[in-house]
Amino acid sequence: MDGEHFALSGMERERDKLPPIYNSSPPAGFGRGAKQPFPSLGTFISTLSQRRDAGGRGLAGSMTSTFGLRHGRELPPICSDVRQKQRLSIDTLPPEVKAPFPSDPIIPLRTKTTKEFQEDTERAVQSGDWREVREFYLTTFDSFIEINAAFKREPNGSFNTTDDSGVNAKFVNAVYDALLSTPQDIQKSVLKGIINSLLREWKGPRTKDDLRAYFILVQNPQYSSTSTYVIYAHLLRQIAVLSEADHHFLVHWLKKLSARRFRQLVERLLQFISTRLFPAEPDELPPLTKCSWWIPSATKVLSLFNAANSVSSPPIMPFTDFYNITLEHIDFMEEYRTWQNYGNSNRFSFCQFPFILSTVVKKAIIQKDSEQQMISQARQSLVSKVSRRQRVDMNLLFLNIKVRRAQLLSDSLDELTRKRCDLKKKLRVTFVGEAGLDMGGLTKEWFLLLVRQIFHTDYGMFTYMKDSRCHWFSSWKCDNYSEFQLVGTVSFIKTKSILQFVALISIRVGCCWIHGENNYLMGLAVYNSIALDIHFPLYCYRKLLTPPTVPCDQNALVGMAAATLDDLQQIMPELAHGLGELLSYEGNVEEDFYLTFQVVQEEMGAIKSYNLKPGGDKIPVTKQNRKEYVQLYIDFLLNKSIYKQFAAFYHGFHSVCASDALMLLRPEEVEMLVCGSPELDMSALQKAAQYEGYGKTDSTVRCFWDVVLAFPLELQKKLLHFATGSDRVPVGGMADLNFKISKIDVPIDWLPISHTCFNQICLPPYRTRKELKQKLTIAISNAEGFGLE
């Protein structure tokens, strides 16, 4: 792209003329004045500065209005402005939203078709005469009006709905697919035309044709090159500052793109952000201080793609593909503190757009936040002791739990109830009668055994749904639900670096319920970075984030997430199928089904009936009201019938895991933090393994991996549990385990030894593969209990 006065390669000579930084006053806007001679990049930048000084609307508009939010501790909404699923037309918009859409100007008639363009391109390739193709590109990208003339299906059609952009997508794809294969002068002419379009002075609000032009321009494949990043950045800035109604239209148009095109655009934006953060060469891009608005603009536009993906059913691409792993190498805690301290102010933070942050980053933020809370709690205890001139015992820095294996559940309940004020200290577990010192391994063992007992059907707190292979809350009524709080709390403690999920649990012993302030299991798990082997449906985690922070109003409802037939399908697939049949039934619903707005449930062996609405037992279900019946039934099963149980569970979890970082999480990410991943990749563990006393080529090590890789899945899980205290893979994968194989100089008739606190396995120097397999299988199959570590 070198040569001519366009001179993108001479960008370093223009840096002193670049637009103002993101936090300063925005530059003036571009409009639709008379066509001017094409400016050089230097003229382009100078024009921006002049218009900024003139106090116009600005190329970027007011970024304060886009990212500007409230000051103080009040935190920002997470991109909620682009998540609406309902269709929207210009006729249904309220007057204040209609206003920004003036009538579109008359567009000149262009008759070239996709086939004709492709034929022109083929002739040019064969003959070397590109004049006709050059003229097409030069004319088409010269202005927004010409872009619409070329690509709008009906030049002067209105296309005022979100359902149809009016763009000839096939023609757009053909033009862009051919562009990178054209001579360099044609590619330069397209970029010059885009600059010319962006420089035009705006004479009022954007029209729908302007939105169409942005929609087409953002698909240009030339932006993959860093030499075009200055132009790309200004395009993104103009899109970023469009109104909320404009963004709503763009979101629905973007979701109509093919999956391949959509992914390309997302990856291009992610690459743009990564390259701006960490350029390959120091002089490759303008100084960050002179264009700090680049990343906020690109991230805002990326949020439109994320919203388009969210409102698509099914999603166009996995939400994890929006993660930018480059952000794992920035100071994300500074981003988090900025978000906490400035909230919805004009201070940009990636935490305002959490879809771009990987689960690894979010886990690290929660870990750091938990550690800070632990340090704060320990410091308060220490200061309190010193101020009263009492003897300082280092145990006061920990949440010390002493339990007997034979009375694990009742002892745990008693200890957590008695030490509620210490829940935010680091957890340390002691098993009575055992010499183990808790460096992390005993804590993992405690969580594992406690979860195993809590979810046993004999306790009646949870029901195992065989069809969906998950647990759900029992609807049995009782006077106290504190054991549900225990499950929620313990989950959070368990994940001091992970969210704790099982903090609220009611435990049924014999025929009565034990009630206490024990709502902490899942919260403790997350708080202490422990992965739990529990199986809740994804909807449960959505309830746990409804709302993501505990309301100030103690009477406010919690966990009442909107439920759909798809949510019921996760838990009770057979019932969901039956309700689906009811909704699609073509016959006489009232006479054939003979249903009323009353449902029955079995509780403790007794049949009880509940009205879904007042007088429901007297209201028949008909074809006209069956949708209401199904929705009320689903809401009853997943929300109202278990409200007290889940509310206790919710408050137990949040009593330990009380962090603003929860607002950054999706339900799927909470599940990953609480449970880890059940997918084992032993080859990845082999690649990440460290060695002490052995080398990776030693015969014992080679035999070990031959045996482990040939193990069935069940034995591989037992090995992972033997070495680490959990059979779950943490967020970040096997590499995050820091797994180590050490040599121990003992007779070869000894079994392998593990140190779960350090994810370490110690192997005697076994001579044969058969001998190693036999000893290892015995060890991992009898791995409960601790000796001195």
Q: Using CA of residue 411, residue 417, residue 418, residue 422, what is the dihedral sign?
A: positive
Helix axes 169-179, 184-199, angle to 10 degrees: 130
79, 675, 703, 757: the active-site residue: 757
Tell me how far apart the alpha carbons of residues 413 and 294 are, in angstroms, rounded to a whole number: 53
How many Å apart are CA 593 and CA 590, to the nearest integer? 6
Which distant-in-sequence residues (6+ apart) come within 8 Å of 600 by Cβ? 607, 608, 609, 610
Tokens read off for 608: 């009880």
C-alpha–C-alpha distance, residues 78 and 353, integer Å: 6
Angle between helices 184-199 and 229-240 (to 10 degrees): 30
- Provide the 10 A C-beta neighbour count for residue 435: 10
DSSP result, 167-217 = B-HHHHHHHHHHHTTS-HHHHHHHHHHHHHHHHBBP-SSPPHHHHHHHHHH
330, 332, 333, 335 alpha-carbon torsion, rounded to 10°: 110
Tokens of 696: 């990776």
Residue 421: active-site member? no
Instruction: Round to whole Å and give the CA distance between 529 and 731.
Output: 10
92 sits in which H/E element? none
The CA distance from 705 to 328, in Å, is 31
Token pair recorded at residue 378: 């320990």
Radius of gyration of the chain (CA): 31
Alpha helices in 343-400 (DSSP H): 359-387
- Cα(342)–Cα(653) distance, rounded to whole angstroms? 27
Residue 599 sits at φ, ψ, to 5 deg, of: -125, 155
What DSSP string describes 113-165? -HHHHHHHHHHHHHH---HHHHHHHHHHTT-HHHHHHHHBSSTT----BTT--
Q: CA–CA separation, 129 vs 127, rounded Å?
A: 5
Q: Where are the alpha helices (DSSP H) in 61-111?
A: 63-67, 95-98
- Region of 738 (left: φ > 0; alpha: ψ -120 to 50; beta: rest) is left
Tokens of 123: 């002739």
| Alpha carbon of residue 506 to chain centroid | 31
Q: How far apart are CA 285 and CA 471, in angstroms?
A: 53
Contact predicate 726/747, CB 8 Å: no
Please tell me the distance from the alpha carbon of residue 373 to that of residue 527, in angstroms, as a whole number.
Answer: 10
Using CA atoms, how far apart are residues 231 and 227, in angstroms rounded to an integer? 9
Residue pair 739/722 in contact by the 8 Å Cβ criterion: no
Q: How far apart are CA 547 and CA 582, in angstroms?
A: 32
3-state secondary structure at position 482: helix
Report the interhelical angle of 643-656 vs 482-494 (nearest 10°): 40
Write the Ramachandran bin of 193: left for phi over 0, alpha for psi from -120 to 50, otherwise beta. alpha
Per-residue CA distances from 729 to 72, 378, 498, 678, 684 (Å): 38, 30, 12, 6, 11
Q: Which residues pair with 402 in a beta bridge?
A: 430
Active site residues: 757
